[in-house]
Chain A
Amino acid sequence: GAVVSQHPSRVICKSGTSVKIECRSLDFQATTMFWYRQFPKQSLMLMATSNEGSKATYEQGVEKDKFLINHASLTLSTLTVTSAHPEDSSFYICSARSPVFTGYVGDTQYFGPGTRLTVL
């Protein structure tokens, strides 16, 4: 089946530094990837939609200069948290949409295992 990986799985950084999280579709090409943020014991909040070769579309309230998204290839999207602060600590999850259309495209979203970011 379709596999999505994220790297790193866990990262601890100092306040003010930038952190890059990678999301890869391992056995398929993903024209669209999504980035979510999940606070402890809460639901997933969509942050942005990343389309290969174009600028990401951010959800309302998400600072695009804070959360830089690059979708440079059909198998890789990166999320960079710039000048991270403790309030950015969270669990970040990506998903990738397979180009194989089986019906509603939500059917073909495959989720990565997530990245736990802790900012000290």
Chain B
Amino acid sequence: AQSVTQPDIHITVSEGASLELRCNYSYGATPYLFWYVQSPGQGLQLLLKYFSGDTLVQGIKGFEAEFKRSQSSFNLRKPSVHWSDAAEYFCAVGPRSNDYKLSFGAGTTVTVRA
């Protein structure tokens, strides 16, 4: 069965410091991979996605993620965080088919300190 693991429940980072959020997946085949961000009380916004090709993916708000097939990982990074990056981050996977269903990780809460 497919699963998505985000090992870090909560990360605190200083403003201006770098951020890395981990995501590992277990899937029958290489899935499509996504990172979403959720601000308090809000819906989800897509940060970036990986379908194929270059394994380093650029997204919005200065985020990037790297797909590593050998490690079944899709970690999210940002070189310098801003206070507005404080939010919940979800990694998600979906099958390479017409099945539209996404499976989400448990999420990582990011707190940014001044």
- Inter-chain contact B100/A107, CB cutoff 8 Å: no
CB-defined contacts of B90 to chain A, threshold 8 Å: 43-44
CB-defined contacts of B98 to chain A, threshold 8 Å: 105
Give complex CA distance A39, B51 in Å.
29
- Inter-chain contact A111/B104, CB cutoff 8 Å: no
- Inter-chain contact B42/A114, CB cutoff 8 Å: yes
Q: How many A-B residue pairs have CB under 8 A?
A: 59
Interface string of A34-55 (1 = CB under 8 A from B): 1000000111111001000000
Q: How large is the interface on B (under 10, 10 to 19, 20 to 34, 35 or more residues)?
A: 20 to 34
- Inter-chain contact A104/B51, CB cutoff 8 Å: yes
Check A4 for interface membership: any CB of B closer than 8 A: yes
Give the A-binding residues of B (Cβ under 8 A): 32, 34, 36, 41-46, 49, 51, 90, 92, 94, 96, 98, 100-107, 109
Using A46-B103, A103-B51, A106-B102 as known contacts, list a sample of 20 further A-B pairs with CB atoms less than 8 Å apart, ordered by residue number in A: A6-B43, A34-B100, A34-B101, A41-B109, A42-B106, A43-B90, A43-B105, A44-B90, A49-B100, A95-B44, A104-B32, A104-B51, A106-B49, A106-B94, A106-B100, A107-B32, A107-B46, A109-B100, A113-B42, A113-B43
A–B pairs, 20, beta carbons within 8 Å: A4-B43, A34-B100, A34-B101, A43-B90, A43-B105, A44-B104, A46-B101, A46-B102, A93-B44, A95-B44, A104-B94, A105-B98, A107-B32, A107-B49, A107-B51, A109-B100, A111-B36, A111-B43, A111-B45, A114-B41
